[in-house]
Structure 1
């Protein structure tokens, strides 16, 4: 695989994403209007692998990361090219480097509008739309449906208790990622009897807080698992990424979170999304990169 690419006036070389200072990655994401803080980049580098496109004097012009979940599946994210190189094939070259590292894994990603045609040309197919809800949370949340079960705070030391439920919802084991996400996060579970039937996390990210992942079997459970965090964020900036359209989406809107943009969930290889009625599902994404 070609480890360098020649642009109009200079050459870019592929390097491991851990080889550059996080400030350069932060500047790259700021340049395209993405909200990632240095802390967010650090966490994502711990969770996955990736490359950067660097010129001869160490400037970073692009990035691409992938996050292995087991041996046969990975998500792709943080595919960024600086405005200076966006029309010169850098994105395709970065993706070719990722494909080489991922091997035969099935893949999924969430595509921006700008990158959609590139991913189609690389063999990805559309599965669903993700709605990014965000804004300053209402001082008072809308009325909630009746709670079926008990909400409990989960210690970060016991986050493995949600792994089996999450695997059913997500489709593969992502226990390592959940442990990283739980560091510094508040985690809530919904129990019916002795069984955990749903959970949610809330952590600092970007401009404020993100509530996600959220895993539940129905809209009512998902609403309670989200509200338990939003009530503590009244008047503060929060974000929820979801593929839902029904009662759960209405609750987010009534909590004064509005759709700011959309991205498209796509897959290459086996189909990623396989939701079944009555089964646990991912109501809120952990993030666009890790899904």
Structure 2
């Protein structure tokens, strides 16, 4: 990925530079300009996990960004693709994406596209897979727990981390231990243990306007609810968010009952092979809650 180049647009020229050359305040201002809730701390997390580029004008103002997160040798995600309102009609997004995709070969790629960006990603060969529902609001204490759920809840740091990482890899379809290791010290966590093994887990951490629950990985709606419930209870009366691909069913209904209504949607898309799994084989885990829309 070549991080040094220039783009000549209709009225001005932009420089492409490594994202690590940009200061945190400029990146934060860029995301604020398009209404994204990321705090400087949230930017620090994604910068520690990926690599990327920024587009700067002649006086050094950051007007665009794009990042790639290499989870394993066979899979990566693209995120933090932002173009300022000044650039959105100038075609700079395509140029930045072409830089990000350099050298990708046949590696599978996933991303979550805003409505404004879907056409661009489609033109680059990405295929639509699923809708992500950004659910958020002031959390309310959820209905009583389902007494039929078997197993015991274990909280971090007591929960067996290696088992959580292994379960996540099965549900996510790639080993993203670097991401999970970075989120671990920032998060409260719950794991559901049944017959001596972890069958579901959920993390919750500060993000944006409040807290976000994610990742959430489980094999059934009931198990996903069981590991999410303690985080909702802990944050009742405060702003809470979850990004999920679950449109209906018990889990989606639970999220709604907790005061988190659908605020926005994005579209999960893939290149070089399918990414998401909404209907795994019986007993196999799946992602109920994303880590973030960038990291997924």
Q: TM-score range by the shorter chain?
A: over 0.9
TM, length-normalised to structure 1: 0.96
For the aligned residues, what is the CA RMSD?
A: 1.5
Q: Which segment is superposed worse, 129-138 or 49-58? A: 49-58
User: Retained in 1: the 8 A contact 2:159–2:191?
Assistant: no
- Residue 156 of structure 1 deviates from its aligned partner by 8.4
Structure 2: stretches of 5+ with no match in the other structure: none
- 1:102 counterpart SS class: coil
Q: How does 1:149-168 map to 2 (within 5 A)?
A: 149-155=151-157, 159-168=161-170
**Contact kept? 1:156, 1:187, Cα under 8 Å:** no
Q: Look up the SS of the partner of 1:78 in the other structure.
A: strand
Instruction: Say if 2:250 is the partner of 1:247.
Output: yes
How many pairs were matched up?
A: 290
Partner of 2:288: 283
Q: Which residue of 2 aligns with 1:126?
A: 128
Tell me if the contact between 2:163 and 2:197 (Cα under 8 Å) persists in the aligned partners.
Answer: no
1:259, CA displacement in angstroms?
0.2
On the 8 A contact 2:134/2:244 being kept in 1, the answer is yes
Which position in structure 1 is the counterpart of 2:272? 269
State whether residues 159 and 190 of structure 2, in contact with CA within 8 Å, keep that contact through their aligned partners in structure 1: no
Match of 1:55 among 36, 41, 57: 57
State the match for 2:137 in structure 1.
Answer: 135
Supply the distance in 2 between the matched residues of 1:156 and 1:38 (Cα, whole angstroms).
30
Report the CA distance between 1:103 and its aligned residue: 4.1
Kept in 2: contact 1:136–1:234 (CA 8 A): yes
Moved runs in structure 1, 4+ residues, more than 4 A? none
Q: Which runs of 5+ in 1 are unaligned?
A: none
